[in-house]
Structure 1
Amino acid sequence: MENIQVLPMQSKDKTIIIDIMQILSDYFSPETIEFAEEKILTLTGFVAKDKDIIVGFITFENISKSKAKIYWMGVLPSYRHQGIGSVLMKQTEALLSEQGIKKIELLTLDEHPDYPGYLFTRNFYKKHGFEIKDSYREEDVTILTMIKKL
């Protein structure tokens, strides 16, 4: 984390974030990336930079006066386990709290043999105070809705 800066996401960062999502194809399906290419234009977020290179990101939007939704988050594999994801999450929570947001929601996958990496994802969110609120089936996977009260 020594040389890592966390900065507000800018328009010019968005294509690089899509590139990172493609690198993280174990977590982001082609359909998700296709949706993200348009949706990301409307989202707010933060990027983690090592010098001038984006190595992580988080995107979100306020969906009401008191509720926000985290859409996507990712850190390049060679930068994981250095606290970058935690700093991105804390920056997001601080900004949303300042804006009067009381609850953050996100979606993630439940256990599935084709997606073992999501155990790490779920544990990361739980470590940051998110709790499973609901679940639903979509095709062959179970989607979890997780929430955190600020």
Structure 2
Amino acid sequence: MRDSMNILKGNEKHIEACCSIAKGLSEYFTENAVETMSKDMKKHLLYIATDLDEVVGFMTIHRKNNHVAEILWMAVKKSKWNQGIGSALIERISNDLKSQGVRLLQVKTLSEDAKYSPYESTRQFYEKMNFIHIETIDPYPGWAPDNPCAIYVKIL
């Protein structure tokens, strides 16, 4: 990550920029997903990655209880991939949550059983960040048919 990049807590003024990033990743996020994402960003903890004051990545976190948090949404602007931004977001959030007593970070993503190649790199990223695949559920409540859910956890 370059010196010009920062990981900050976001707020409502950053939601449009975050949704714009997601819209640029249509192989990952449907229009309905972006609408839900926007609502979730208003209700849950939002972190952003900035480069020279431009939002280039984000993550939305839901505190499930005192010891468990879940990554609801995460994305990095495609032109900024492989520059350490996603890793920096995970590291910052992990450190912040751990300092608040959270012991487990969870994320759900599309399972390899779906045979949808764009998500191969997503799963590889989480595994590189020490998330462990613990279960695949299909059908997963609230997910569209034929979208098996892979659940990953990271011990903080």
* TM norm. shorter chain > 0.5: yes
After TM superposition, list the pairs within 5 Å mapping 1:52-131 onto structure 2: 52-111=53-112, 112-113=114-115, 115-131=116-132
Gapped regions of structure 2 (runs ≥ 5): 140-144
How far does the alpha carbon of each residue in 1:31-71 deviate from its partner, in whole angstroms, 9 at most, with x for none? 21121121210111211111121011111021101000101
State the match for 1:146 in structure 2.
152
Q: Percent identity?
A: 30
How far does the alpha carbon of each residue in 1:15-44 deviate from its partner, in whole angstroms, 9 at most, with x for none? 211111111111112221121121210111
How far does the alpha carbon of each residue in 1:98-134 deviate from its partner, in whole angstroms, 9 at most, with x for none? 1100111110001234x31111100110111111111
User: Quick one: which amino acid aligns to residue 69 of structure 2?
Assistant: A
User: Which 10-residue stretch deviates more, 40-49 or 121-130?
Assistant: 40-49
User: Quick one: which amino acid aligns to residue 154 of structure 2?
Assistant: K
SS of the residue aligned with 2:148? strand
User: Quick one: which amino acid aligns to residue 120 of structure 1?
Assistant: S
User: Quick one: which amino acid aligns to residue 127 of structure 2?
Assistant: K
Separation of aligned partners in 1, 2:15 and 2:81: 20
SS of the residue aligned with 1:107? strand
State the match for 2:142 in structure 1.
none
Gapped regions of structure 1 (runs ≥ 5): none
* Alignment length (residue pairs): 149
User: Quick one: which amino acid aligns to residue 5 of structure 2?
Assistant: I
TM-score for both structures, normalised by structure 1:
0.94
TM-score for both structures, normalised by structure 2:
0.90
SS of the residue aligned with 1:141? coil
Contact 1:45 1:92 in 2 (8 A): no
Separation of aligned partners in 1, 2:41 and 2:71: 11
SS of the residue aligned with 1:7? strand
Moved over 4 A (4+): none
Contact 1:57 1:73 in 2 (8 A): yes
